[in-house]
Structure 1
């Protein structure tokens, strides 16, 4: 489970970095690319988060 938590954090950090890159890009094509990458990594992080929630013991 810890490895999944680590991957979740990494995906979130990468999404944030892509967002920063997109916001500072001067080229429209690069801005769009990094925006799409950020959105994709947010979705991936969400999927990992859902998987973690399913694996978590119920109280």
Structure 2
């Protein structure tokens, strides 16, 4: 599993927890975590693409 895949899997788990949470503060926290992890995955992919030598 690549780093972006792991981050996306963690984001999906946070989204599940968000959906199951009954406490508003916990829902908001896990929503922010899911969004942050998804953004990190995109950033890691972008950095990996940018660091590859041009063919």
**Distance in 1 separating the partners of 2:9 and 2:48:** 18
Structure 2: 5+ residue runs without aligned partners?
A: none
Give the match for residue 50 of structure 1. 46
**Distance in 2 separating the partners of 1:45 and 1:29:** 24
Poorly superposed stretches of 4+, deviation over 2 Å: 55-59
State the TM-score, normalized to the length of structure 2: 0.87
Q: Displacement, 1:55?
A: 2.5
What's the Cα RMSD here? 1.4
State the TM-score, normalized to the length of structure 1: 0.81
